[in-house]
A and B are shown apart, each in its own frame.
Chain A
Amino acid sequence: MKHLTVIALLACVAGLQAAPAKTPKKGKLVPADAVKAAEARQSEFYERGEIPTPAGEVCEVGSIALLPGKKVAIGTRRGDVWVVEGAYDADLSKVKWTKFASNIHEPLGMFWKEGSLFAMQRPEFTRMTDRDGDGRADRFETVCSKWGVSGDYHEYAFGSDPDKDGNVWAVFCLTGSFHAHAPWRGWGAKITPDGKFIPVASGIRSPGGIGANGEGDMFYTDNQGVWNGSSSLKWLRPGSFQGNPTGNKSYALADFPAPPEPQSGSRILTERLNHPAFVPPAVFLPHGKVGNSPSGVGCDLARGKFGPWQGQILVGEQTASQVQRVALEKVNGLYQGAVFHFLGGFEAGLVPVRMDQEDGTLFVGGTNRGWGSRGSKPFTFERVRFKGRTPFEMRAIAAKHDGFEIEFTHPVDAAAAADVENYALDTFTYIYQSSYGSPEVDQTEPTVKSAVVSADGLRVRLVVDGLVRGHVHHLVVTDVKSKSGDALWHPEAWYTLNEIPAK
């Protein structure tokens, strides 16, 4: 055998081995193990408690609403609405349940307002009122039912809380998640208090939840599939196109300019520059790495009662039975930011995420019917409370014209934090295409040129050579400890760099 052949063969083997995700320069990080290790530390910072559901009842939680008097309501996939007392108490074994309504049509989004529970049912948005005070709803008012329903099981409708004008926003999944067999499938709309239906955005595929940030801008999660290379958190900017043209058929019904007809096999950046209505995902939740099926959208506005995450988005995750944390910022008019792993170990696949902003209690619920989940119970209703000890974490990441600024929750040990070898950065994007999902493509490896620690030790400014507009920037921080010697609870982040800020 000639040496040349051997070398070629070796190179080929090396290529094969290098194909998996890039490993950091220092230390070792196997993502799945890192997530497991982090989940094992969760109880240092957060207390997770299962709230017993009514005995003998199947409570696949799809909605959670907060009621006056520390009562909480859940809506189930089977369509029952239950109200619980005692969900805030120390002893959860004593909770008391009352049935408010039976067998409505799969409510996904529910809130309390002006003496009534409002629910986004699959076919209509409904106000439910207990007029005689016996604890059961006796009036069901259809506020709006203008969208099309074909009878397909996948035509989910998720509803938000009211915005500042009292409008409720809804996102309507495509038929079977692939087609638009009825009007407004693949659209988002807002419903005014008097029931008017105002389409606000097109291009939706398969949502898992909807909710606003602290500024009142509305976001929803959209799942990996056709035209979605990966799942992501998307901003429902009024008038926007979210990337999936299947629902363009309903443009004829809307007072909208002509729909974008994007190119399959392209990149989102290219297409959105061609089509200004196309709003790119605010934050990709990289498929298989961050999760597989994002669901509910919550926001931490509890002013520190849930930890130092004021204003950040909490995203439910059905498959991995987790809650991820998203820190957003707005650059050049577009939302972008980083997703971090956060809470895990829930008992079923999570769907709704509901933060009590007064009390700082996070309620979550879920199900694994029809879609598998790491949590092995068929359904769950849980609460999470902050124990008061702030984990050492990257609180947020801000894009800079020449790099990033990482904000930590505790002052860092300056020596390690100033070592560029402790930051491993790689970037990638997805093919924007009509087929299902996408591999990660166009990988690059930027170089961290310098890491400068702020005087208070809370910020590290990274100067990076090789930022790529439109790419997900995957950052792994190794061997950076807090001043008091704590390791990072979650050392990984994925920042979606839609725009690079000006100097």
Chain B
Amino acid sequence: MRPSSLLALLASAALLSAAEDGAQVYNTLCVACHGPDGKGLNGLPPLVGSEWPKGPAERSIKIVLNGMTGPVEVAGMTYNIDMPPQGAVLSDEKIAAALTYVRDKFAGGAGAVTPAQVAAVRAQTAKRATPWTAAELLKAHPFPPAKTALKNLVGMMYKGEWKTLPDFSALKPALMEDFNAGVIDPAQSGLKDHFAMVWTAQFEAKEDGKYNFVFDCDDFGALYVGGERIAEIKGIGPVGGRRKEVPVILKKGLTPIRIEYVEFAGHEVVVLGYKGPKDKEIKWLSKTKANAPKPRVSIPIEAKDGVTAVYRNFIAGVSPRGLGFGFPNGMNIAYSADSLAAELIWSGKFMDGGHHWTDRGSGTEPPAGTSVVKLSADAQGVLLEGGAGSVQRFAREKQGNEWTFSAVKVAAEFKGYDLDAAGNPTFRAAGEGVSLTDAWIPEAIGGKPGLKRTLKSEGDRPVTVVLARDLASEGADGATVLGGSLSLRPLSGPQPKAADKLLTVTLKPGETAVLGYSFR
């Protein structure tokens, strides 16, 4: 055998071996989430059709070495799932082989990755101990600017204060500039408030057919296609509720497009996109696309057939052991089993499970309703005379970046709750020598939908219950008005007392206090 043919053989054997190794690594480790075909298993991010594995190898190498955390947009979908780091598991060779396999098979031949490239990134990021966020990676290794359908884009800027669209032909633009990227963005003006912009361009239709244009702005504006005004957003306001979607039939080729936009004050946003005859996703022509309705699932949780709804999960504004109850009359509370206090009260919709019940359900979920009043936050809601109490719990405190823990004594702790036939809760708490029940039922209070709360104590000493903490209160018509909107009315038993930013009621052993809550 001649050396040259032997070399060729060797080279191909080495290549084959590397390719097999990459497939093996992929099919052992990556396949569990990204799937054998790279399309993502069961709602996990795909590699096929994604920008992420393409382009500079450094970005992909970083992801494999240290993992990723937090929300990430992949192929038009937002995922919030952690990718575990593989740097300690896989050698440079294995990472290079796996990425070469991925880029070859799922990223349209984005190019081989060498062990030397992996080694270089590994050395460069040696001090990095935490997973990357999408924002960090895109800042260091941005996606290439997409060429949009806007050709010959020109922007004009006008200074002034308008509450309706002005006649731009009568105004003199302060600046004219050419925008090669084909993306419109109010930030191109360099101004914050009281200005207007007009963009003109040729819209390139790739084929004949229906083009659905999406248009929205903060504050207002108009969209012209083929010289015709097809959409207008009127008045001062945010994006979202006024979004327009308008179909236009276009011929293949260039059609003039014009966007008029006025910013009064506050946020400056323009949203523009379209879906052509063959497009599955909206193609964006504006920098902002996040204001398109997210594909987030809404799973309303509500009282049904007169039975109060419950939601036990992490509720925003409530300490972690939160218990939400949504009553059939549109009143809602969140009680904390940590602090033994009703921490939130609100009206309208109860909770939406769409957040915690999809993906991994990270974070807290705010109440779905309106007029949320924060009665108390993360501080003991049951107090005993003469000191802290005798129930042992464990507390945490953040010092700098570190959490420290300690054993603490509190007056009482959560003992559970009962539900009546209509699902209404009676919370139970107990401490040394005392027990307390705290029952809530829906009932009209002062002619308004409200809640009747019955507090009852047993034991050998008085118990003080915190009704509100750090909340502005004023008296009106025999009621206390909390936070300007919630009316609290003593119905029977001992009267609430206000002192030191605390509104409390103290119960002697065997005593019962009945309180009515309603929104004004």
A123 to chain B, nearest CB (A): 4
Which residues in A have their C-beta under 8 angstroms from that of B404?
A: 249
Q: Could you mark each residue 400-432 of chain B with 1 if its beta carbon is under 8 Å from any beta carbon of chain A, else 0?
A: 000111110000011111111100000000000
Do B320 and A103 have beta carbons less than 8 Å apart?
no
Do A103 and B310 have beta carbons less than 8 Å apart?
yes
Do B88 and A79 have beta carbons less than 8 Å apart?
no
- Of chain A, the residue at the smallest CB distance from B81 is A370
Do B405 and A148 have beta carbons less than 8 Å apart?
yes
A368 CB within 8 Å of chain B: yes
Do A79 and B86 have beta carbons less than 8 Å apart?
no
Known interface pairs A148-B396, A372-B32; A436-B67 also in contact (CB < 8 Å) = yes
Which B residues, 292 to 343, have Cβ-Cβ distances below 8 Å to chain A? 301, 309-314, 320-321, 337
- Of chain A, the residue at the smallest CB distance from B402 is A249
B176 CB within 8 Å of chain A: no
Do A368 and B42 have beta carbons less than 8 Å apart?
yes
Give how many A residues have a beta carbon under 8 Å from the other chain's beta carbons.
Answer: 77
B419 to chain A, nearest CB (A): 5
Do A376 and B396 have beta carbons less than 8 Å apart?
no
B61 to chain A, nearest CB (A): 16
B277 CB within 8 Å of chain A: no
Other-chain residue from A12, A16, A77 in contact with B21 (beta carbon distance below 8 A): A16
Q: How far is the CA of A9 from the CA of B392 in the complex (A)?
A: 69
Do A433 and B17 have beta carbons less than 8 Å apart?
no
Do A370 and B301 have beta carbons less than 8 Å apart?
no
A332 CB within 8 Å of chain B: no
Known interface pairs A6-B3, A123-B320; A439-B364 also in contact (CB < 8 Å) = no
A279 to chain B, nearest CB (A): 23
Known interface pairs A183-B396, A253-B405; A292-B32 also in contact (CB < 8 Å) = yes
Do B358 and A436 have beta carbons less than 8 Å apart?
no
Do A435 and B88 have beta carbons less than 8 Å apart?
yes
A202 CB within 8 Å of chain B: no
Which residues in A have their C-beta under 8 angstroms from that of B366?
A: none
Do B13 and A104 have beta carbons less than 8 Å apart?
no
Which A residues, 141 to 165, have Cβ-Cβ distances below 8 Å to chain B? 141-142, 145-154
Do A438 and B89 have beta carbons less than 8 Å apart?
yes
Q: How far is the CA of A372 from the CA of B46 in the complex (A)?
A: 12
A180 CB within 8 Å of chain B: yes
A237 CB within 8 Å of chain B: no
B273 CB within 8 Å of chain A: no
Do A149 and B310 have beta carbons less than 8 Å apart?
no
Known interface pairs A182-B403, A369-B359; A17-B337 also in contact (CB < 8 Å) = no
Do B359 and A13 have beta carbons less than 8 Å apart?
no
B146 CB within 8 Å of chain A: no
Other-chain residue from A17, A288, A438 in contact with B28 (beta carbon distance below 8 A): A288
Other-chain residue from B29, B84, B396, B407 in contact with A150 (beta carbon distance below 8 A): B396
Which A residues, 1 to 55, have Cβ-Cβ distances below 8 Å to chain B? 1, 6, 9-10, 12-13, 16-17, 19-20, 32
Which residues in B have their C-beta under 8 angstroms from that of A288?
A: 28-29
B131 to chain A, nearest CB (A): 9
B310 to chain A, nearest CB (A): 5
- SS class, residues of chain A in contact with chain B: loop
B388 CB within 8 Å of chain A: no
Which residues in B have their C-beta under 8 angstroms from that of A102?
A: 309-310
Most chain B Cβ neighbours within 10 Å, of A32, A103, A141, A374: A103
Do A103 and B17 have beta carbons less than 8 Å apart?
no
B18 CB within 8 Å of chain A: yes
Q: Could you mark each residue 70-92 of chain A with 1 if its beta carbon is under 8 Å from any beta carbon of chain B, else 0?
A: 00000001110000000000000
Which residues in B have their C-beta under 8 angstroms from that of A77?
A: 357
B353 CB within 8 Å of chain A: yes
Do A249 and B403 have beta carbons less than 8 Å apart?
yes
Do A78 and B353 have beta carbons less than 8 Å apart?
yes
Most chain B Cβ neighbours within 10 Å, of A19, A287, A288, A372: A372
Q: Could you mark each residue 347-384 of chain B with 1 if its beta carbon is under 8 Å from any beta carbon of chain A, else 0?
A: 00000010001111111100000000000000000000
A30 to chain B, nearest CB (A): 10
A184 CB within 8 Å of chain B: yes
Other-chain residue from A141, A184, A373 in contact with B41 (beta carbon distance below 8 A): A373
- Of chain A, the residue at the smallest CB distance from B360 is A370
Other-chain residue from A180, A224, A376, A438 in contact with B403 (beta carbon distance below 8 A): A180
- Range, interface on chain B: 35 or more
Most chain B Cβ neighbours within 10 Å, of A16, A132, A136: A16
Do B27 and A32 have beta carbons less than 8 Å apart?
yes
B393 CB within 8 Å of chain A: yes
Do A138 and B419 have beta carbons less than 8 Å apart?
yes
Q: How far is the CA of A65 from the CA of B394 in the complex (A)?
A: 30
Do A151 and B41 have beta carbons less than 8 Å apart?
no
Other-chain residue from B13, B314, B416, B418 in contact with A13 (beta carbon distance below 8 A): B13
Do A181 and B312 have beta carbons less than 8 Å apart?
no
Do B313 and A105 have beta carbons less than 8 Å apart?
yes
B316 to chain A, nearest CB (A): 10
Do A146 and B394 have beta carbons less than 8 Å apart?
yes
Which A residues, 178 to 199, have Cβ-Cβ distances below 8 Å to chain B? 180-184
Do A372 and B320 have beta carbons less than 8 Å apart?
no
Do A151 and B42 have beta carbons less than 8 Å apart?
no
Known interface pairs A151-B364, A370-B359, A372-B32; A184-B394 also in contact (CB < 8 Å) = yes
Which residues in A have their C-beta under 8 angstroms from that of B85?
A: 435-437
Do B360 and A153 have beta carbons less than 8 Å apart?
yes
Which residues in B have their C-beta under 8 angstroms from that of A181?
A: 396, 403
Q: How far is the CA of A288 from the CA of B91 in the complex (A)?
A: 16
- Of chain B, the residue at the smallest CB distance from A107 is B312
Which residues in B have their C-beta under 8 angstroms from that of A436?
A: 67, 84-89
Other-chain residue from A10, A20, A378 in contact with B10 (beta carbon distance below 8 A): A10
Do A437 and B396 have beta carbons less than 8 Å apart?
no
B495 CB within 8 Å of chain A: no
Most chain B Cβ neighbours within 10 Å, of A136, A149, A376: A149
Q: Could you mark each residue 29-43 of chain B with 1 if its beta carbon is under 8 Å from any beta carbon of chain A, else 0?
A: 100110100001111
Which residues in B have their C-beta under 8 angstroms from that of A141?
A: 415-416
A281 CB within 8 Å of chain B: no
Do A126 and B313 have beta carbons less than 8 Å apart?
no
B44 CB within 8 Å of chain A: yes
Other than A17-B17, A287-B89, A373-B41, give 9 A-B pairs with Cβ distance below 8 A: A10-B10, A106-B313, A127-B416, A150-B396, A180-B403, A182-B396, A182-B405, A372-B32, A437-B84
- Which residues of B are at the interface with A, using a C-beta cutoff of 8 A? 3, 6-7, 10, 13-14, 17-18, 20-21, 24, 27-29, 32-33, 35, 40-44, 67, 81, 84-91, 301, 309-314, 320-321, 337, 353, 357-364, 392-396, 403-407, 413-421
Cβ contacts A to B, 23 pairs, < 8 Å: A9-B10, A16-B14, A19-B21, A77-B357, A103-B311, A103-B312, A104-B312, A138-B418, A145-B337, A151-B320, A153-B360, A182-B396, A182-B403, A252-B406, A370-B81, A435-B85, A435-B88, A436-B67, A436-B85, A436-B86, A436-B87, A436-B89, A439-B91
- Which residues of A are at the interface with B, using a C-beta cutoff of 8 A? 1, 6, 9-10, 12-13, 16-17, 19-20, 32, 58, 77-79, 102-106, 121, 123-124, 126-127, 132, 136-142, 145-154, 180-184, 224-225, 249-250, 252-253, 287-289, 292-293, 319-320, 368-374, 376, 378, 431, 433, 435-439
